[in-house]
Structure 1
């Protein structure tokens, strides 16, 4: 899965080669084809694997129902930043797939993105009703949160070159989380 994710996030679906993926994964092409009949099957398996890490349930694993929506949103933001720090290829892959309409993008939206998108927007709306989050479009805020959470890691070489800081360091991860909180919340809950 890691080799396939790297290939799809680096070269895109069309540029990724199943032979190269098999080689990088140190498995035979016949074994890869045995498990994944087509490149599309492999691509979907990669996305489903990532989707299992990016559910709101996963992002809110440390939250309780007694917490305010703002506090739960803070936990979700932390989870997103940590996810993108762990799997920077996720944002790279989405950037390659989401820039134009396609059957693959439709599949991603229907099978991977829709539920977490709706859940995050609902959580933002709830936190706005509490007066903790800026009164902007919840959809735009969700895209802003994802962007701020993902970009330092998906363009890590540029980030490190320009800032002289490693975005994957614990200090930088915490600084990214803190920056997002300051941008999204009117006051920290």
Structure 2
């Protein structure tokens, strides 16, 4: 049975996670400038002074929430070591399919990066240096270490990486458009699995 102190720590950690996730949701849909600490506090149901006490400024909260985002990415879909795999292409396929599922679970990730890329913010420079560049370095090793289909041989690995990211993310960036224009709910389990399979087949031409 949890002691009162442990229970309090668990509640505190749960509240912190809820604040970070709410910040991500609002920053990714409204943009950094249009969101206030009070907006986040009201959504979570806490005093905005508590957010300022724990996270400091809105800028620092953005950085904390972005760090939470990328740490979760690494936890949910760790990059495989294809050098130790007997079938590195199959490992890369599984990794790509897992990334599609991640994009469906967390559309705020791509939306946040798009928001910041539009204005080329200092926040994007920070998150690029701290997380995106090293993450991409690992993924590029996967691409360069796998035997790619003939049609992809010789392509710029960086541009190939962004092509894969684009087709993985796009349905979850424009979910409302797909619903309004084609009456498609791309967030059902069946639709997500179908898209994951289609992305892998499109890239590897299976």
Q: TM-score, length-normalised on structure 1?
A: 0.88
> Could you tell me which residue of structure 2 aligns to residue 42 of structure 1?
61
1:72 to 91, 94, 98: 91
1:124 aligns with 2:148: no
1:32 aligns with 2:90: no
Any stretches of 5+ residues in structure 1 without a counterpart?
Answer: none
> Could you tell me which residue of structure 2 aligns to residue 7 of structure 1?
26
1:107 to 115, 126, 138: 126
Q: Which structure has the bigger radius of gyration?
A: 2
Greater Cα offset, 69-78 or 40-49? 69-78
Structure 1 residue 97 displacement after superposition: 0.6
CA distance in 2 between partners of 1:181 and 1:95 (Å): 24
Any stretches of 5+ residues in structure 2 without a counterpart?
Answer: 1-19
> Could you tell me which residue of structure 1 aligns to residue 114 of structure 2?
95
Structure 2 vs 1, CA of residues 67 and 173 (structure 1 numbering), >3 Å: closer, same or farther? farther
CA distance in 2 between partners of 1:184 and 1:54 (Å): 22
Greater Cα offset, 57-66 or 116-125? 57-66
> Could you tell me which residue of structure 2 aligns to residue 148 of structure 1?
167
Structure 1 residue 83 displacement after superposition: 1.1
